[in-house]
Amino acid sequence: MTDVATAFDIFDPVFKADPYPTYRRLRAEQPVVVDRHAPICWLFRHADCEEALRDPRLGSPLGSPEVLARKLGDGAAACYIGTSMLAQNPPQHTRLRRAVSKAFTAKAVEARRDQVVAKVEGLLDEVTAGGRSEFDLANEVAYRIPISVVCGLLGVPAEHHDRFRALIEENAAVVEPMPTPEQVAMADKASGELMDLVSALAAERRAEPRDDLLSVLVAQQEDGDGLTDLELVANISLLIAAGFCSTMQLIGNTVFCLLRHPEQLALVRADPRLAAGAVEETLRYEPPVMSWPRSVLSPVSFGGVDVPAGSVVISVIGSANRDETVFERPEDFDVTRPSPKHLTFGGAVHHCLGAPLARLEAELAVGTIVTRYPGLRLAGGAEPEWLDNFNVRGLKELRVAT
């Protein structure tokens, strides 16, 4: 055991650019790191992370109201995220998740396959119109696929998509393990506007229902068996955030990894069915979500370190997914890697609800992009930059040429 202050610095730009050497060192030397002041316990080994994600003594990713207040205070950000299913434990979590889960079943997701393909093809036609040969794949394509799909499912008109993206990105503090005061202030402002936007959309659906999830949830309210107004607003906002942010990064990260590993790119081009393998390997090798927190409901221990109730345990997925004791050649990017054991989608009752949809969107997008453009390559000259925050792992932009 060691204190976090002497182990690593999540705000260090060098660490943000490439955290994996630090993770490798920590797995070997300091696999359990404790911040006694927060209190937070960081886990870096696959076995410990997997146990934390499945142990019923560990609860919601956001913790108790007291834990949430320590991180976010008592403003709009704490109200928004604290009312969402991400902050709840069963049975409350079960009730909230059940209300929206039918939209994310394997059957419901598969029914959207043609819609996703059409969206990808249409976007690629648009960005290469007029003979244009260079574009920002992250923001012009990878972002617009999942935002269109999840907002279409929920009932958010296209004219609001970019505003929702801006507000959700300004809300980074709610998913950061150690947000700065500046991030919290920004998140409070963004959360208030985010909830106002969803409230206005819900009011529209009460007056004029449509064929979307928001209309279904509003109708359930009127039957007396639905979510409260605040629960509806908070969870619709969460689904929009979760539905586009990590999938956007997954698409971009997968294409980036393939371009960085041309022999793997050649395999996918030769057999487009390997696009699914490329996505799965990216989920392990360069995951769009770097960690999963859990609140400690009853005392636990990891690596001989006792962790009291009221603490937060953070499973660092980016480290666990490269654990040498679990994965052969963990530093290699291999689209043919069998039986993935990555932990990117979490576990147990808090396993990512949108995992099937994220996989489908990324697989179809990546397969279409790399086969449509046989000469696809990185453009712009400079090395792409990673986002500044810790928990969302993705590129600020990904300029490519066809």
What is the per-residue pLDDT across 169-179, written as a single tens digit (0 to 9) for each?
899 888 888 88
| Beta pairing, strands 305-307 & 134-136 | unpaired
Tokens standing for residue 51:
């146990």
Give yes or no for a contact between 232 and 216, defined as CB atoms under 8 angstroms apart: no
Measured CA angle at 40 (ends 38, 45), to 5 deg? 160
Domain residue limits at 243 = 2-401
**Total of domains in the chain:** 1
Asked if 365 and 115 touch (Cβ cutoff 8 Å), the reply is no
- pLDDT digit string, tens, across residues 36-56: 777 899 999 999 999 999 999
- Strands 134-136 and 399-401, bridge-based pairing: antiparallel
d(CA 199, CA 236): 10
pLDDT of residue 5: 62
Tell me, what CATH number does 6's domain have?
1.10.630.10
Tell me the mean pLDDT in the region 100-120. 90
The pLDDT assigned to 232 comes to: 92
Q: In the predicted model, what is the mean pLDDT of the chain?
A: 92
Q: How far apart are CA 66 and CA 79, in angstroms?
A: 13
pLDDT score recorded for residue 9: 87
- Residue 255 pLDDT class (50, 70, 90 cuts): very high
User: 97 and 353 in contact (C-beta within 8 Å)?
Assistant: yes
Going by pLDDT thresholds of 50, 70 and 90, the confidence category of residue 343 is very high
- Predicted confidence at residue 2, as pLDDT, reads 56
Q: What mean pLDDT do residues 340-346 have?
A: 91
pLDDT at res. 47: 97
Cis omega (within 30 of 0) for bond into 157: no
Where does 261-354 have alpha helices with state H? 262-270, 275-285, 317-320
Range with lowest mean pLDDT among 262-266, 338-342, 395-399: 338-342
Instruction: Give me the pLDDT at residue 339, please.
Output: 73
- Secondary structure of 184-239 in HEC code, one letter for each residue: HHHHHHHHHHHHHHHHHHHHHHHHCCCCCHHHHHHHHHHCCCCCCHHHHHHHHHHH
Question: How much is the pLDDT for 243?
Answer: 86
- Please compute, for residue 83, the number of CA atoms within 13 A of its CA located in the half-sphere on the CB side: 19
Question: Quick one: pLDDT at residue 131?
Answer: 87
pLDDT over threshold 70, residue 3: no
Q: Is 94 exposed, middle or buried (0-12, 13-18, 19+ CB in 10 A)?
A: middle
**Where is pLDDT greater, at 221 or 302?**
302
pTM: 0.93
